[in-house]
Amino acid sequence: MSRPRHLDVPNAHAGHTARFTDYRAAEIGHVALTPTDPVEAGAYASFTLVFTAGRFGMDDTGSLRICTRQVSDIGRPQFTDATAPNYVTAEASNGAKLTLEFHPKLNMRPWSRTITITVARGFLHPGDTITVRLGDTRGGSPGLRMQTYCEEHFHFLVLADVFATCNWALLPQQPTLPVVPGPAVRRLAILPTHRAPGEAFSLLLRADDRWGNPAPLPAGRHHLAALAPVAGLPAEFDWPEGARSHRIEGLTTEAREGLVILWDGTPSNPMRVAQTGLRPYWADLHGQSGETVGTGSIDALARYARDLAGVDAICHQGNDFQITQEGWADFQRAFAEYDESGRFVFLPGWEWSGNTALGGDRNVLYPEGGRDLHRSCHALVEDLSDHASDANDARELHAKLRAEQRPVLCIPHVGGRYANLEYAHDKYLERAVEVHSDWGTFDWLLHDAFRVGGRVGIVANSDGHKGRQGASHPGASQFGSYGGLTCLLAPEFSRAGVFDALRRRHHYATTNAARVFADARVQIEHEANQHIDDPALGLPPDGRARVAMMGDILSGVRDATARFRAEIMAAGPIERILLFNRETLLETIRPDHPPGTRLRVQWEGSEYRGRGRETSWQGSIALDGTTWSDVTPINRFNIDHRFEADDTTLRFQGVTTGGFQAMDAQLSGMGGRLRIDTNLVQADIPLAALQGQEHVWEAGGLGRRMRAFLLPQAAPSKMVVERDITLRDDADNAIYIRATFEDGSVLWTSPIYLLR
């Protein structure tokens, strides 16, 4: 097999392993695709792909492969039902018999989704053709459902094995087409979460299509209004033609408490206006571009995060076993090019992607460029000249990073693999765990950290693979959740500032890219030692304190109780707040409003910890003896899944990966019964039984369950919780809250550690 650096594989850096040959590739044949006009993300389309055999023809049992990227959520091809979506056919110009197969993980990563078209009887002469209709509509099929996210250069990667040797040649001049946003259906007005009176801030405006892609709005006049005076805010403005976002800079306000701005009636997230020392900066510290397993270039990823998602900081986390030396140099170039203190922070980093048995996934983050890779392996990198720098297990990784004696952090997370903290946990390097991403929600990883003695903060990111870092809709694929964000409480807007926030665990996390203000503090009567580093490392304390914020560690605590105070301010109603000490739930706190006649039925959990964690739900939720109205889905990100409601019955499909989905409905009365009939839960209870408590039905797996409860008719979007907490003597006290909002998003504050 020829060395792959000669092959023009889309997005691949030189030196990346590819199971293709370039042997006389120009003479193997050529491929043409029609049409190549822009296609709307998630829409049905039909393409004709014609392979013309070159000078060698194609031998009996030779084949074509048509590949799409591993993360693409393009419709799954099928070859049997001409009336159904994603119907694919193929025919040879000379009548040779062809067979068609599809496998989602056949070709080498990242081009693993593969249609194979084999000449099962006969052969092709030079100049003969194979015509493949992707989304053949002639029998009534609506076509091939296109991937749900945008891509400037979408490829059907075409390979040919004309010698029937199972050595596929990458054909030259691979055709591409653009995948573009659909019409805008959801507007977002994004403010900073917290600013001081008189401090300048900006307002970012964006509108997303039904699959979460920022979409250009038609040119036209728009209106803005604030619920408090804002200097510099125009009453109206013209949307720039073709723009996918619009930013209004130089705003100031003297307002107190919360500021909300209305964009043609759509409210922004609230901005707390008060004096503050640390500033909140929103970050998505975990995403990949197409140079590894993601989509698009690292440059496009940075621009999306900065200009469309409107986050303040990102970190690129390409799988180490796929990053070549040339690729790492190019990433370093992008880290430096897009990092701009005061505007946008790009932390250098990479993902250590070791097998679970050897430690599992870790994100490695640096506050500076020019640092080295310590790959888990060279599985997809042919150049082995630097293999001695590899760290084949997590313990070796920790040792090599420490030996550099330069600032670095690791964040264990759950991706395809999950971080195995029982195998390795380094108290100096690992100061946070990622509890949410596009892959799902993983409170159990925080519990794992507690069990191995970790004193960690909580982050949420996207681990996005679809080029949408900072606003990462999962699309229609194995990703089951909308990506999260981490709010870093930093002393300055720079690499050094956000890295300091991570080092001190001064941050909190949200799902669904929700912008929520949160503050959590503990006060004790007697001063205790305050630590930036885990005191188990043997380092001296950094001071003395009676008050600790989220992420702080106090040791030598003499008090038997501590006063805990948390404040939350969100764009929508708060459903509940859970107060924890370590894994122990101390209290469930709901808004002080009586339950009304709004019904919520929720399904949640996952199968197990590994790659096949998705739990599929299907069935019906129904009323007997009464009716409902305004049946609304919660966290229904895959809009291809069924959600059909009439006056008494919802028929639905859903997927959960540790988080939850739900339905809300307004009941016409409380006299009837609730009947649940799904693949995992069956239940029948009187609605009146929900007036005093929620009902929960366990369904095995990893936190799989359904629950039903009544929501108040109107709940607050701001709550303050104050409690005296009895401290434990037998273990660390790790005090934090987990809040759930009616819109389906979740918030965690990093624990405050009190060591007695």
The token duo for 615 is 């739990």
Predicted confidence (pLDDT) per residue in 534-549, tens digit: 999 999 999 999 999 9
pLDDT for the residue numbered 5: 35
The token duo for 180 is 């573009």
Contact 552, 542 (CB under 8 A): no
Indicate if the pLDDT at residue 623 is higher than 60: yes
Contact 263, 230 (CB under 8 A): no
Distance of CA 296 to the CA centre of its chain: 16
Say whether 84 sits in a helix, a strand or coil: coil
pLDDT for the residue numbered 382: 87
Q: What percent of the chain has pLDDT over 90?
A: 90
pLDDT for the residue numbered 3: 36
The token duo for 464 is 């996005």
Predicted confidence (pLDDT) per residue in 406-458, tens digit: 999 999 999 989 999 999 999 999 999 999 999 999 999 999 999 999 999 99
pLDDT for the residue numbered 109: 84
What does the H/E/C string look like for 629-665? EEEEEECCCCCCCCEEECCCEEEEEEEECCCEEEEEE
Q: Which residues of 51-80 are buried (b: 16+ CB within 10 A; e: fewer)?
A: bbbbebbbbebbbbbbbbbbbbbbbebebe
Indicate if the pLDDT at residue 10 is higher than 70: no
pLDDT for the residue numbered 172: 86
Indicate if the pLDDT at residue 300 is higher than 90: yes
Indicate if the pLDDT at residue 16 is higher than 80: no
Residue with token string 């009996």 = 60
Mean pLDDT of 489-501: 98
pLDDT for the residue numbered 595: 87
Predicted confidence (pLDDT) per residue in 121-177, tens digit: 999 999 999 999 999 999 999 999 999 999 999 999 999 999 999 999 999 889 899
Write the CA distances from 228 to 258, 261, 516, integer angstroms.
9, 8, 19
Mean pLDDT of 167-195: 94
Distance of CA 735 to the CA centre of its chain: 26
* φ, ψ (nearest 5 deg) of residue 520: -140, 135
* φ, ψ (nearest 5 deg) of residue 261: -115, 135
Predicted confidence (pLDDT) per residue in 203-234, tens digit: 999 999 999 999 999 989 999 999 899 999 99
Mean pLDDT of 348-353: 97
Question: What is the average pLDDT value for the chain, to the nearest integer?
Answer: 95
Q: Which residues of 300-325 are buried (b: 16+ CB within 10 A; e: fewer)?
A: bbbebbbbbbbbbbbbbbbbbbbbbe
Q: How many CA atoms lie within 13 A of 564 on its CB side?
A: 25
pLDDT for the residue numbered 234: 97
Q: How many CA atoms lie within 13 A of 575 on its CB side?
A: 21
Contact 290, 296 (CB under 8 A): yes
- Give the separation between CA 8 and CA 492, rounded to whole angstroms: 43
DSSP type of residue 406:
S
pLDDT for the residue numbered 13: 72
Torsion angle defined by CA atoms of residues 265, 270, 274 and 277, in that order, rounded to the nearest 10 degrees: -140
Q: What percent of the chain has pLDDT over 70?
A: 98
Distance of CA 195 to the CA centre of its chain: 27
Say whether 302 sits in a helix, a strand or coil: helix
Indicate if the pLDDT at residue 8 is higher than 60: no
- Give the separation between CA 372 and CA 114, rounded to whole angstroms: 35
Mean pLDDT of 642-653: 97
- Give the separation between CA 565 and CA 520, rounded to whole angstroms: 6
Q: Which residue has the higher pLDDT, 366 or 478?
A: 366
Give strand pairing partners of 365.
349, 409
Mean pLDDT of 109-125: 95
Contact 260, 253 (CB under 8 A): no
Indicate if the pLDDT at residue 253 is higher than 70: yes
Indicate if the pLDDT at residue 48 is higher than 60: yes
pLDDT for the residue numbered 20: 78
- Strand pairing category for 176-180 and 169-170: unpaired
CA angle 696-701-706, nearest 5°?
20
The token duo for 77 is 């091809």
- Strand pairing category for 271-273 and 194-195: parallel
- Give the separation between CA 315 and CA 406, rounded to whole angstroms: 18
pLDDT for the residue numbered 116: 97
The token duo for 108 is 């080498």
Give strand pairing partners of 67.
114, 157
Contact 752, 522 (CB under 8 A): yes
Mean pLDDT of 574-592: 97
pLDDT band at 2 (very low <50, low <70, confident <90, very high): very low
